[in-house]
């Protein structure tokens, strides 16, 4: 149980940090190789791209966990506390719907024979590994959205039931 709590608290943060550090190390190494030794790493750019794609999707989930995505609140600020809560629930449900559709469509794409058989040009890695970043990131983000949604749903609405 302690491991699951640690994983819940730190998974995306640690993965994002490792991926970003790897990206920086690869780029710095490739710059050094290219401009000092006159010989660049042939696989460095492709691996950097792959790591960056995974970094972005894991970081999307981390931002949902921390509640740090950009929000436009002009409309929401017009409501009182109950209206804001209802809007937060509605937005969370819309986000979950989007991530559900994204996950299903990405999995359909990954399972298509022409995608499943592709390999990357330089590294020779299966392309579905790269494409899997989207549904995995969407699933992780969905978990984080649900974690924020549950307390919103558990709090009872005031007796008036209006949007304030």
pLDDT digits (tens), the chain, 164 positions: 888 888 888 899 999 999 999 999 999 999 999 899 988 888 989 999 999 999 999 999 999 999 888 888 888 888 888 888 889 999 999 999 999 999 999 999 999 999 989 999 999 999 999 999 999 999 999 999 999 999 988 887 666 555 55
CA atoms of 149 and 97, how far apart (whole Å): 13
The two tokens of residue 116 are 């499943």
pLDDT of residue 6: 87
CA 3 to each of CA 6, 16, 161: distance values in angstroms, whole numbers, following the listed order: 5, 19, 41
pLDDT of residue 160: 55
pLDDT of residue 131: 95
Per-residue DSSP letter, 56: H
pLDDT of residue 163: 52
CA atoms of 76 and 88, how far apart (whole Å): 9
């Amino acid at each position: 149980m302690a491991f699951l709590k640690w994983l819940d608290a730190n998974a995306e943060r640690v993965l994002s940090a490792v991926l970003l550090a790897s990206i920086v190390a690869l780029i710095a190494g490739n710059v050094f190789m290219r401009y000092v030794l006159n010989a660049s790493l042939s696989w460095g750019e492709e691996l950097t791209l792959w790591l960056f794609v995974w970094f972005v999707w894991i970081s999307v989930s981390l931002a949902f966990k921390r509640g740090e995505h950009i929000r436009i609140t002009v409309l929401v600020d017009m409501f009182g506390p109950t209206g804001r809560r209802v809007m937060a629930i509605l937005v969370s449900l819309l986000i979950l719907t989007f991530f559900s559709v994204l996950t299903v469509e990405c999995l359909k794409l990954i399972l298509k024979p022409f995608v499943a058989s592709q390999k990357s040009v330089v590294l020779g890695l299966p392309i579905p590994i790269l494409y899997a970043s989207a549904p995995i990131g969407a699933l992780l983000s969905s978990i984080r959205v649900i974690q924020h949604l549950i307390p919103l749903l558990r709090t009872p609405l005031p007796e008036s039931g209006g949007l304030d």
